[in-house]
Structure 1
Amino acid sequence: MRGHTVHLFGRTFRLPANRMARMGIGIAFIIGGCLSFLPVLGIWMLPLGLVILSIDLAFVRRWRRRADVRWGRRRKRRKAVGEPR
C-alpha cells in the first residue's frame, strides 16, 4: 500500500484523501461483512474493510502485516514441499 491506494489481486484501487472518509468506508465494509446473510454483502467485505482501515490505524496495520508474513511463509513452505494450491 502506498499513499491512498490499496493493491489487491494485481489491481490498484484509489481511496479518498480524507482520513475520515477512508475510515468511514472501512467501517462500512466491516459492518457489511457482519451482515453477510443479506444478498451482495458477504464475508469478503471484512478483510477488505480491515485493509482499508490499516492505512490509518496502526494496530490494524500490525495485524495485516503479521497476516501477510504468515501467508507468505505458508505459500513458501507449500511451494517447497510441492503441495498443490
Structure 2
Amino acid sequence: MTEINRDEVFNKVQDAFVELFEIDADDIKPESKLYQELDLDSIDAVDLVVHLQKLTGKKIQPDEFKAVRTVDDVVDAVVELLKEK
C-alpha cells in the first residue's frame, strides 16, 4: 500500500475480521463497535494487532490501540500508521 486510500484500508480491515474472526462481511460497518456488536475480546484484539502489523509491516504500539472502539477507529489507526515513515 503506497498511496493511502481509506476505502482500501477499510476493505483490508474488513477482510481481516472475516478471516480472523469469521464475522460476516455485511456485519462489518465503519460504525460497528468491536466489543459490543462484533463480539471481540482482548485476545481477539491482540490477534488483530498482530495481523495488522504483518499487513502494514509496521509496529503497532499497544497504547495506540487502547482507544480503538469501532471498525472506523481501526481504519483511522492503520491510516495513521501508514502515513508514518
TM-score range, shorter chain: 0.3 to 0.5
Q: TM-score, normalised by structure 1?
A: 0.32
Bigger Rg, which one: 1
Higher relative contact order (CA 8 A, sep 6+): 2
